[in-house]
Chains A and B, each alone.
Chain A
Amino acid sequence: MTLGRDEYLAEHVRDSLIHDPRVNEQDVLVRIKERRVFLGGNVSTRELREAISVVARELLPDYEIVNETTLVPAVEPEDEERVQ
C-alpha cells in the first residue's frame, strides 16, 4: 500500500517495525507530530533499539526520528512469590 495521508503514517511505521526482519517488534509505540516520528516503549537489546530507528528512517526519510525507547535488560528477580 502506498503512503498516503499523514493520519495513517504512524500505522505504516508500526507495520514496518512488525514485519521488517531487523526488528519484528509489535510493541513499539509510534506517534507522529509536525514531521517528527516519536518511537517509544521498552526494548531488550541495544541492537534492536538502533534497528528501530533505521527502519523508521528508511520509511520516512524526510522526517526527524526521535527514538525514546528504553533499554530494559533481563536481570535476576529480587524475590519470589508464594502462591496460595
Chain B
Amino acid sequence: MIRIAAVGDVHFGTGSAGSLRPALAHLADRADLMLIAGDLTRCGGPEEVRVLAEELEGLPVPRVAVLGNHDYHADKESQVRRILEDSGIRVLEGEAVTLDVDGVRVGIAGTKGFGGGYRGACGTDFGEPEMKAFVAHTRKMADRLERALSTLDADLRIALMHYSPVEETLQGERLEIFPFLGSYLLAEAVDNVGADLILHGHAHHGREKGVTPAGIPVRNVAQPVIRHAYSVYTLDSKRVLSAAS
C-alpha cells in the first residue's frame, strides 16, 4: 500500500511560520510521500516561500510540488522554485519524477495547468490575440503534462496539478468562474495516457472527489476543501505490482 499525503493552497505568508508544522508531526507514520498542489504562497514572494520551506524542512518523506497562480504573482517563480528545490522539495512543471517507495516505483508528473473551461462551455483559440494566448497557455500545459506522464516507467502514476481537470470537483464554486478554475484539456491529457490518481487544488469552494471521463479518480486537495493540514490517499501497490507482472 502506497500512502500519499496531499495538500494544496496553503498560501503561506511571512506571518505563517508555525501554522502547519505542528500538524505534520506524525506525517512519516501516515504517509510515504507528500505532494503539494500549488499556491504555496500568498503572492509568490521569495520571503513567503522561505517560511514554507523552513516549515517543511527535515520531513522524512519525499516532497514533490507544482506551483499555482499565486506563486507567479510576483513574477519571481524561478526564484520560488529554486528556494523550494534547495530545501529538498522537487518542483515539477511539465516534468516527471519517479520515486522508489519500498520497491514500488511511484511516478509523478506535474504542471500548474491553467483555465479555459469544460466540454461544451470552454474558451477557444479564436479571435483576439489575448484570447488565443489564454487558450494556447492551457494547451501548452496540457501537452507537456501528457508528454511527461507518457515518459514515466512506473508501477503507480500520479498527475499533480493546480488547476482542476474536471467540473465535478468545482461543485460549490460559482458556475460563472469555472473557466478560471481549470480546463478539460488537462483531463484529456491524463486520460490519453492513463494514471492512477489526479490531484489538484485551486478551487477553495469546490468538493474533494471527482473522476475523469476515462474513470481516473480526481481529488481536490485545496486546504479549504479538505479542512486539514493534508489528506492521505492509499493506492494498492500489490494490485499494481501484480498487474505489472
Task: Name A residues whose Cβ lies closer than 8 Å to a Cβ of B.
Answer: 21, 23-25, 27, 42, 44-45, 47-48, 72-84
A44 to B23, CA, bound (A): 13
A77 to B232, CA, bound (A): 8
CB contacts (< 8 Å) of A48 on chain B: these are 13, 15
Q: Is the CB of A44 within 8 A of B19?
A: yes
Task: Name B residues whose Cβ lies closer than 8 Å to a Cβ of A.
Answer: 3, 10-11, 13, 15-16, 19-20, 23, 25-26, 30, 42-43, 70, 73, 196-197, 204-205, 217, 219, 223-224, 226-236
| Contact with A74, one of B196, B217, B229 (Cβ below 8 angstroms) | B229
Distance of B119 from chain A, by nearest CB (Å): 24
Give the nearest-CB partner of A29 in chain B.
B205
CB contacts (< 8 Å) of B73 on chain A: these are 24
Q: Is the CB of B19 within 8 A of A75?
A: no
28 contacts between A and B (CB under 8 A): A21-B43, A23-B42, A24-B43, A24-B70, A27-B205, A44-B16, A44-B223, A45-B13, A45-B15, A47-B15, A48-B13, A48-B15, A73-B19, A74-B10, A74-B223, A75-B23, A75-B229, A76-B23, A76-B26, A76-B229, A77-B228, A77-B230, A77-B231, A82-B236, A83-B217, A83-B219, A83-B233, A84-B217
Count of CB-CB pairs between chains A and B under 8 Å: 74
A48 to B10, CA, bound (A): 13
Give the nearest-CB partner of B231 in chain A.
A77
Leading 10 A-B pairs by shortest Cβ distance? A80-B232, A24-B42, A74-B229, A77-B228, A24-B43, A47-B15, A74-B23, A82-B234, A76-B23, A83-B233
Q: Is the CB of A45 within 8 A of B226?
A: no
| Contact with A81, one of B16, B42, B43, B234 (Cβ below 8 angstroms) | B234
Q: Is the interface of B mostly helix, strand, loop or mixed?
A: loop
Q: Is the CB of B197 within 8 A of A72?
A: no
Q: Is the CB of B232 within 8 A of A25?
A: no
Give the nearest-CB partner of B30 in chain A.
A80
Given the known interface contacts A75-B228, A77-B232, the answer about A44 and B11 at a Cβ–Cβ threshold of 8 Å is yes
Given the known interface contacts A44-B19, A45-B19, A74-B223, the answer about A80 and B228 at a Cβ–Cβ threshold of 8 Å is no
Q: Is the CB of A81 within 8 A of B228?
A: no
Q: Is the CB of B20 within 8 A of A74?
A: yes
A73 to B228, CA, bound (A): 8
A23 to B235, CA, bound (A): 38
Distance of A43 from chain B, by nearest CB (Å): 10
A71 to B219, CA, bound (A): 24
| Contact with A24, one of B13, B217, B223 (Cβ below 8 angstroms) | B13
Distance of A80 from chain B, by nearest CB (Å): 4
Distance of B214 from chain A, by nearest CB (Å): 15
A25 to B73, CA, bound (A): 12
CB contacts (< 8 Å) of A79 on chain B: these are 232
Q: Is the CB of A25 within 8 A of B16?
A: no
A74 to B73, CA, bound (A): 24
Distance of A21 from chain B, by nearest CB (Å): 7
